[in-house]
Structure formats: C-alpha cells, structure tokens
Amino acid sequence: MPEKIIIDTDPGIDDAMAIFFAMSSPELELLGLTTTFGNVSVERATENALHLVEIAGISIPVAIGEAVPFVQAPLPFPDFVHGADGFGNLNLPQPKGQPIELGAAEFIIKTVLQNPHEITLIAIGPLGNLARALELEPRIAKLVKRVVIMGGTVLESGNVSPVAEANIYSDPHAADAVFRADWTVHMVGLDVTHKVTLMNDLQRRIRDHNSIFGQFLFDAGRFYADFYQSSRGTEGCYMHDASAIAYAINPNLFDVVNGPVRVATEGFAKGQTILKRTDYSYPENHWDIVTDACVCMGVDESGVLALYEKAMVGS
C-alpha cells in the first residue's frame, strides 16, 4: 500500500525533480503540496507548485505557508542557483489553479489528524511550516508516521557557510524547533546529497522518454547544471531534494547514524546542524532533551540513481 506523503516545498528546480519523482513512484501517494519561502518567495513558490501539478495533470491541493523566517530577517533569494522565477528563468505563464483556503500548517494538521500514524511529511525547503504546525497543534508530533527533511550537514562543508546548509540556514529557529519536537527527524543532508550526482546524460534520457514533464525538467535543469558547472566544476547537478524522496521510498540505500541534533541559531555558526555522536556526558544538556534523529551519513549513489531513473524513465 503506498505511503501517504505531504511534500513541503519551495520550488526550485531540484524541488521540481523531487516532486515529479514522488508523483511517479507507486510506493508513494502524494496528498498535497505545502509551500514556503526559500529558493523564491512563498508567492512564487505557490505559483510554481501549481505549475508542477498542472504539468503532471493531477489534482492535489496546494497550500500556501510561511513567508518569512520565524525570528531572523529574510535572506536574499538565490536567483543565481534557480533563476529569478525558480525554474531557470523559463518565465511560464500564470498557472490556472489556485491554492486552497487552508494555510500550509493548517493543512498539515488537518491531514495528520484525519490519518493518524499514516502521514509522512517530506520537507525539502526551510522548516517554518512544520514548526508552525507544531506550534498550533503539538499533538501531531505523536501522530505522524515519519518526518523526512532535506537539509543540514554534519561532516560535509556547508553550501551557504562553512558549516550550514541552505534550508536550515534560511530559518534556523524553525529548524531547531523541528529537531527538538517529540518526533524522529530523518535528516537527508549534504553528507549524502553531495555524493549523488544527476549527470546530464540521465537528464537527456528523461527528456527523451518522459512525455509529461521530461522537457520541462531538462529546460529548467540547464540553468541549475550551469550553476554547478561554474561553481563546482561538476557535470550535471547534485540530487538534493530528490534524495529525500529516495530515502522515503527505500531508506536501505542510506547509512544512518542515530543521535540528537540541535541547530545553532545565531552567530557565525548559524544554521549548523550539530549531531551528538558520542555517549559522553557534557556540562550542558542541550542534546539530552532532544529525541534522536536518524541522520544519513552514507549513500548508495547507484541505487538512488537507479530508483530515480526507473520512476522517471521506466524500467
């Protein structure tokens, strides 16, 4: 029976890859998209989510969520990575659909309460919507099935500072609230996503064999691939958000370390996800009051890519 999921997202080229991956995977049943700021404004993220639903030709709710971080001032949007429109400057026309009346946090709460222990929340943007849902209805922490996030890093260098990953850095206070909640966070961060590269030849195969969204992903992906070529010297692009979908489908493709995680919210370490990896006792108990997270530290790259290709191209 497919796993029921909600994807919390800030589309974003790699978000589009992840969302279409989820839509194409029989192991998952996508119940809705909730949007947040991050790669683009929340208004643009919502338009982009509606575009993805229309391109796929399916009918699922899109709920608009948090527009700014919980505490810190908003950061500039990374248009040099995703383009000003989030889709590599394709400048699509306005979507035909509209977001639902319920906000993102309210949609998450309602869906979880109606489906106790059945919903997996997959967050591939900043974590404000999850933090807001916890604030409004703390009971959901005990009623979700799983919480999977694309974000953070433990040993790998950060992509917005030496120690911080972009989704966490964008709203560190919300991220710390999510890690401190009484649920298990499954963290798919840069320690593994920097080890999974979506090469250009696979992107071309998806373009040539997927008549629904292959051309869109290829066209948008050129901007993303050019960024990685110029900034990292990498052919293709890292599979950040899609790796969280792969984890939701088959966590056995990942090596996981269990332990409590806290997020630094201020100063030069802002956005750092700090995993307690020992059983040592420390003078301060910041990690002792936090439910252990499942933190991905290793990955079967070929297995993740094969799973992605099977969903997006077919066997």
Residues annotated as catalytic are: 10, 240
Burial grade of 161 (CB within 10 A; 0-12, 13-18, 19 or more): middle
The SS3 call for residue 274 is: strand
Q: Does residue 88 contact residue 221 with C-beta atoms inside 8 Å?
A: yes
Pairing type for strands 185-188 and 146-150 reads parallel
Q: Does residue 189 contact residue 153 with C-beta atoms inside 8 Å?
A: yes
Q: 3-class DSSP state for residue 237?
A: strand
- How many residues make up the chain in this entry? 315
Encoding tokens for residue 188? 């798919």
Tokens of 232: 């990292």
Joined together, the tokens standing for residue 294 give: 């499942």
Can you tell me whether residue 9 is helix, strand or coil? strand
Asked if 169 contacts 271 with a C-beta cutoff of 8 angstroms, the reply is: yes
**234: phi then psi, degrees, rounded to nearest 5:** -100, 135
- Burial of 172 by CB count in 10 Å (0-12 exposed, 13-18 middle, 19+ buried)? buried
CA–CA distance, 238 with 234 (Å, rounded to integer): 9
